[in-house]
A and B are shown apart, each in its own frame.
Chain A
Amino acid sequence: MAKVKMTVNGRQVGSECEDRTLLVHFLRENLALTGTHVGCDTTQCGACVVHMDGRSVKSCTILAAQAAGSTITTIEGLAGGGDLHPVQAAFKANHGLQCGFCTPGMVMTAVDMIRRHGANLDEATVRAELDGNICRCTGYHNIVKSILAAAAEMGGVQQAAE
């Protein structure tokens, strides 16, 4: 057991956990942030994507202890107290989600994708970048549409915002 401290969604947190605890379980079980999901256990599906120090990571593939001292943003903290982040709003407007289970990971991946590519995203790039996120409901059609819409809307202001 070890006490692990980090900043999650702007708040300093610390909690005891077994050494083998994965970040995703630390978030879900210790911090009750259940928006981050586990879909596969093998780093394939991306339902567990969160941001660690501003970059997307699969929280099922990193130990909580490895994240000690880092700054984590989960789906619960993405809008930063606002109503919806522009990517969340684009997913709603474009029906980019159905059952909602892969959605938190999709949104967190999309935010990072837009951060890196800005308004330069095209469909082929979005599809290639989504390789690590699996959705069984949407056939990706509306997820791709949502991300392109969000990228267009956020455009050049994105880099300034980060």
Chain B
Amino acid sequence: MGVEGIGASVARKEDKRFLTGKGRYTDDMSVPGMKYAFFVRSPHAHAKIKSIDISAASAMPGVIGVLEGKQLQADGIGNLICGWMIHSKDGSPMNMGAWRPLAHDTVRYVGDGVAIVVADSLGEARDAAEAVVVDYDVLPAVTEAVKALEAGQPQIHPEAANNLIFDWQIGDGGATDKAIAEAAHVTEIKLHNNRLAPNPMEPRATLGIYDSAEDHYTCYTTSQNPHVARLVMSAFYNVAPENKLRVIAPDVGGGFGSKIYIYPEEIVCLWASKKTGVPVKWTSDRTEAFLTDAHGRDHVSTVKMAFDKDNRVTGLKVDTIANLGAYMSLFSSAVPTYLYATLLSGQYAIPAIHANVRTVYTNTVPVDAYRGAGRPEATYLLERTMETAARELGISPAELRRKNFIRSFPHQTPVIMNYDAGDYEASLEAAMATADWNGFAARKAEAARRGMKRGIGMSCYIEACGIAPSAAVGSLGAGVGLWESAEVRVNAVGTIEVMTGSHSHGQGHETTFAQLIADRLGVPIDSVNIVHGDTDKVQMGMGTYGSRSGAVGMSAVVKALDKVEAKAKKIAAHLMEADESDIVIENGELKVAGTDKALPWFQVALAAYTAHNLPAGMEPGLKEGAFYDPSNFTFPAGCYICEVEVDPETGTTEIIQFVAADDFGNIINPMIVEGQVHGGIAQGIGQALLENVHYDPQNGQLITASYMDYAMPRADNLPSFKLSHQNTPCPSNPLGIKGCGEAGAIGSPPALINAITDAIGNNSLTMPATPQKVWSAINAAN
């Protein structure tokens, strides 16, 4: 692997700028004449707008313009879209209501944008926004999905009767019902996967710049996929044709899914820049982020799992109601369907599965993909059910899982997915050994002597990453293909630029992608620059989410590199008068195998550009591009074990140890992969123990709208983690990579809840397991 190649824990190339304050985030951008925007937002969860009076605000000091939704609509700016069509089981298309970038007739959640104020300073914009008078006719609101489906509830969109967006199913209902009817044992459980706010530390921001001379727009934005933003803003929102719209996502301070989507603010600031004639910058504050960033999760499910007399799972029936909020966000329909129900087989051979999913409008901010997106919901459901079943059946949770593991590959599940490789037993064994599972009884007894309740829980997760084969997702309703692009440009002096459609917002692509080049060519990573995040520099790309950048983005780099190497070998063979098939590339040289003849890499690059002596008919230059469309999903999997100690006096949970054993396939940079797992586990522990988005069910006000009310995991809430890897290479992509970005958030919540319920002897516990809930559960059990 070399010191900088694949498999080396290379320190990151991008770190120095972040460590010295030289990172360039969207809010750091400043251009001549730039002004500041502040949005007027609805204080009501549901209301008719009777009138908007901007006259007082327009006359305030420093105000350049106050703009409303009616003008935006008159200028032909389109409504926001959901890019994944789902059909209900009766064949009807999903019932999508209109989402206007600025509401002008009805507001549907607290924070819904109504107007934008542009002023010389942010303070002046904020002051003037206070002076915009919106006359609302307040309507009743509903925030909970189950309730929103009931008769007599507020109707949020005329297109969706009873607030039902779609009623979808997957799997064989008849076979599943039969398995349950014939079962020796059926475990039933009802679960709520709690609603979360993604909370990247950098709030969303955008800077819209309209150039009237060129009739051209530039959009700086906090995006995980600037090319998708350009495509959608051009093709659907009529902001500008693609050749007149440049989207730049510079350094982006975390995303976790919430920066995939194209939000109203990008569109409105670009439009406002044209209307006012000045560059317009908007930066969210944290409360605005809680109010307007797409939330995650919020599923209510009932589960029936059938077992035969040998404790083998024979069927799984799931009914889920998913809250999608007030509008359908860009990929919101895919999350509780194809990213969720297709993973309900878990690591287990289950002959019959049926899931029914209803998605529902409520008066809350839109819900979309958040780290894991559907797969944490599937894993939590399955792994709490397995643990519950093990307790009911009186066998060890490890034994029940072992008995049901899939052990031969490829394995076709009853819910679309075809698992290509894995060794679930290996991860289970590794996690149990690291956690000293066999020594737990003694530790529990010791804790009991101190009056503490100790518990242990496990979770065996699987996820589908590397999204995704374009034809497959197209057939399932996706509006885009999910390939990735790359271009490898070799400069005349041999240094290399890699243009990638992947986008790094913490993942370290500038290092890992360079490691791939270093591994293949034997050149130092300092001679490789990774270029991303700018639609003027990279032609097209689908961006970074779903743990896809290694498996899909780097595979595109491999394809481009194959072409570059092939041409370089031809040139080297010509120059050294050798056969092309005898040329090998190692240690920064092109060598004739079995001889001492060699040319340094830079010399071959220079020859390509001087073009004085190239093979007959060869074009000058050394630059190749490629698109990679995956042939299958990838299937990272693993086993997580959590051990907790609960104080029965206070209900406080302390995490004694957290063990993660993951199979990510081949790994480029172990240090970076471990960092991804750490962060994912912290978010999963956050979900299980601390975090919860809470809307007042009476009036739809967001109660948890700052870090004083929403419990983010802090350093003293978490332990250090114990990690290991048991890697079976992925057979479907050239690097054997499965992806590591979401596993921690997927696998950890059920392990923690299983541990707490084990400790307290009461399985009725919802996330987040706050001390009050745990204390109540202990006392209910006694």
Interface residues of A (CB under 8 A from B): 18, 20, 28, 32-42, 44-45, 47, 74-76, 78-79, 84, 88, 91-93, 95, 97-104, 107, 123, 126-128, 130-131, 133-145
Whether the Cβ atoms of B286 and A103 lie closer than 8 Å is no
> Contacts A34-B28, A95-B11, A103-B18 given: A140-B675 contact, CB under 8 Å?
no
Whether the Cβ atoms of B714 and A74 lie closer than 8 Å is no
A-side contacts of B681, CB under 8 Å: 139
Interface residues of B (CB under 8 A from A): 11-12, 14-25, 27-28, 30, 121, 123, 199-203, 251-254, 256, 283, 285-287, 505-508, 671-672, 674-675, 678-683, 706-708, 712-716, 718, 720-721, 744
> Contacts A130-B714, A130-B716, A131-B715 given: A99-B682 contact, CB under 8 Å?
no
A-side contacts of B18, CB under 8 Å: 97, 99-100, 103-104
Partner of A84, one of B19, B23, B123, B508: B19
A-B residue pairs in contact (CB < 8 Å), sample of 27: A18-B121, A38-B27, A41-B286, A42-B706, A42-B708, A84-B19, A92-B11, A92-B19, A95-B672, A95-B674, A97-B19, A98-B506, A100-B15, A100-B18, A101-B25, A101-B201, A101-B254, A102-B253, A128-B716, A134-B712, A136-B254, A138-B678, A139-B679, A139-B681, A142-B678, A144-B720, A145-B720
> Contacts A41-B286, A95-B671, A98-B679 given: A136-B19 contact, CB under 8 Å?
no
Other A-B pairs, 19, CB within 8 Å; known A97-B19, A134-B712, A139-B678? A28-B28, A33-B21, A42-B708, A44-B708, A45-B286, A84-B16, A88-B20, A93-B11, A100-B14, A100-B19, A131-B715, A137-B254, A138-B678, A138-B682, A139-B680, A140-B714, A140-B718, A141-B721, A144-B715
> Contacts A98-B254, A98-B506 given: A40-B15 contact, CB under 8 Å?
no
A32, A36, A45, A97: which has the most chain B beta carbons within 10 Å? A97
Whether the Cβ atoms of A134 and B678 lie closer than 8 Å is no
Q: How far is the CA of A20 from the CA of B285 in the complex (A)?
A: 17
Q: How far is the CA of A10 from the CA of B30 in the complex (A)?
A: 25
B-side contacts of A100, CB under 8 Å: 14-15, 17-19, 23, 251, 253, 506
Whether the Cβ atoms of B19 and A107 lie closer than 8 Å is yes
Whether the Cβ atoms of A137 and B21 lie closer than 8 Å is no
> Contacts A40-B286, A130-B716 given: A136-B683 contact, CB under 8 Å?
yes
Tell me the nearest residue of chain A to B709, going by C-beta. Answer: A42
Whether the Cβ atoms of A41 and B721 lie closer than 8 Å is no
B14 to chain A, nearest CB (A): 8
Whether the Cβ atoms of B12 and A92 lie closer than 8 Å is yes
A109 to chain B, nearest CB (A): 11
Whether the Cβ atoms of A140 and B506 lie closer than 8 Å is no
A40, A75, A79: which has the most chain B beta carbons within 10 Å? A40
Whether the Cβ atoms of A131 and B23 lie closer than 8 Å is no
Whether the Cβ atoms of A34 and B720 lie closer than 8 Å is no
A-side contacts of B17, CB under 8 Å: 100
A-side contacts of B20, CB under 8 Å: 35, 75-76, 78-79, 84, 88
Whether the Cβ atoms of A141 and B716 lie closer than 8 Å is no
Partner of B201, one of A20, A39, A42, A76: A39
Whether the Cβ atoms of B254 and A99 lie closer than 8 Å is yes
Q: How far is the CA of A147 from the CA of B671 in the complex (A)?
A: 17
Tell me the nearest residue of chain A to B681, going by C-beta. Answer: A139
Whether the Cβ atoms of A76 and B21 lie closer than 8 Å is yes
B-side contacts of A37, CB under 8 Å: 25, 201-202, 253
Whether the Cβ atoms of A101 and B21 lie closer than 8 Å is no
Whether the Cβ atoms of A92 and B16 lie closer than 8 Å is yes
> Contacts A101-B25, A144-B720 given: A32-B715 contact, CB under 8 Å?
no
Q: How far is the CA of A97 from the CA of B682 in the complex (A)?
A: 14
> Contacts A44-B708, A101-B253 given: A141-B19 contact, CB under 8 Å?
no
A-side contacts of B508, CB under 8 Å: 98
Whether the Cβ atoms of A97 and B15 lie closer than 8 Å is yes
A81 to chain B, nearest CB (A): 11
B-side contacts of A32, CB under 8 Å: 30
6 closest cross-chain pairs (CB), A and B: A35-B21, A100-B18, A101-B253, A139-B682, A99-B506, A44-B707
B282 to chain A, nearest CB (A): 14
A-side contacts of B674, CB under 8 Å: 95
Q: How far is the CA of A49 from the CA of B508 in the complex (A)?
A: 24
Tell me the nearest residue of chain A to B24, going by C-beta. Answer: A34
Q: How far is the CA of A92 from the CA of B714 in the complex (A)?
A: 21
Whether the Cβ atoms of B285 and A136 lie closer than 8 Å is no
> Contacts A95-B672, A99-B505 given: A134-B21 contact, CB under 8 Å?
no
B652 to chain A, nearest CB (A): 16
Partner of B679, one of A33, A76, A131, A136: A136
Partner of A136, one of B23, B199, B286, B672: B199
Whether the Cβ atoms of B201 and A99 lie closer than 8 Å is yes
Q: How far is the CA of A41 from the CA of B705 in the complex (A)?
A: 12
Tell me the nearest residue of chain A to B716, going by C-beta. Answer: A127
A-side contacts of B21, CB under 8 Å: 33-36, 74-76, 104
B-side contacts of A33, CB under 8 Å: 21
Partner of A35, one of B22, B123, B672, B708: B22
> Contacts A44-B706, A84-B20, A135-B201 given: A141-B285 contact, CB under 8 Å?
no
Whether the Cβ atoms of A39 and B679 lie closer than 8 Å is no
Whether the Cβ atoms of B252 and A92 lie closer than 8 Å is no
Whether the Cβ atoms of A99 and B16 lie closer than 8 Å is no
B-side contacts of A20, CB under 8 Å: 123
Q: How far is the CA of A38 from the CA of B714 in the complex (A)?
A: 18
Tell me the nearest residue of chain B to A99, going by C-beta. Answer: B506
Q: How far is the CA of A91 from the CA of B14 in the complex (A)?
A: 12
Partner of A131, one of B15, B505, B680, B714: B714
Whether the Cβ atoms of A99 and B715 lie closer than 8 Å is no
Whether the Cβ atoms of A136 and B200 lie closer than 8 Å is yes
A76 to chain B, nearest CB (A): 4
Partner of A141, one of B199, B678, B712: B678
B256, B675, B718: which has the most chain A beta carbons within 10 Å? B675
